[in-house]
């Protein structure tokens, strides 16, 4: 909080500034909003922290990643395993929740636009409040 307060790190593409006081656009693949209560809580915390409205946008995952890379959406949610192959195209948050895949429990994360370290720091700080 102390370090986040001094405005560093910043985003190269200013995601935090685009969201603050406006709309947090969350990409999602399955339902209209994440089925995982922890994920929903984390998103709501982040929106509150940045004084923004949450808007969910449903889409196909590859399309969502492309849109994320262009800054059209701000994060992707919905049981993304931390071992996701999209780790090279996106930035991954700290674990939010977990899901069982093939009988094994895997931690899940949010995907953000690469290099938006200020936004990632805001998000992880907000998530801290939900645990």
Q: Which residues of this chain interact with another protein, rule CB under 8 A?
A: 1-4, 8-14, 87, 91-94, 112-118, 120-121, 124-125, 128
Q: Which is nearer to another protein, 3 or 101 (CB)?
A: 3
Question: Residue length, the chain?
Answer: 131
Q: Which is nearer to another protein, 17 or 33 (CB)?
A: 17
Q: How far is the CB of 32 from another protein (least distance, A)?
A: 28
Q: How far is the CB of 36 from another protein (least distance, A)?
A: 20
Q: Which is nearer to another protein, 38 or 58 (CB)?
A: 38
Q: How far is the CB of 49 from another protein (least distance, A)?
A: 12
Q: How far is the CB of 64 from another protein (least distance, A)?
A: 17
* DSSP states of 30-74: SSSS-S-HHHHHHHHHHHHHTT-EEEEEE--HHHHHHHHHHTSSS
- The structure tokens listed for 77 are 């949610």
Question: Cα separation of 107 and 28, whole Å?
Answer: 17
Q: Which is nearer to another protein, 12 or 37 (CB)?
A: 12
Q: Which helix (H) or strand (E) holds 105?
A: strand 104-112
- The structure tokens listed for 112 are 């953000």
């Amino acid at each position: 909080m102390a370090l986040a307060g001094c405005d560093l790190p910043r985003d190269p593409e200013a995601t935090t500034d685009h969201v603050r006081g406006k709309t947090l656009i969350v990409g999602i693949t399955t339902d209209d909003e994440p089925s995982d209560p922890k994920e929903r809580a984390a998103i709501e915390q982040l929106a509150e922290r940045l004084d923004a409205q949450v808007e969910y946008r449903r889409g196909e995952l590859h399309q969502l990643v492309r849109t994320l890379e262009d800054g059209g959406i701000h994060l992707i949610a919905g049981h993304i395993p931390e071992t996701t192959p999209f780790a090279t195209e996106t930035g991954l948050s700290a674990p939010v929740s977990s899901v069982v895949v093939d009988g094994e429990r895997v931690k899940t994360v949010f995907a953000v636009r690469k290099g938006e370290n200020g936004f990632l720091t805001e998000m992880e700080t907000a998530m801290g409040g939900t645990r």
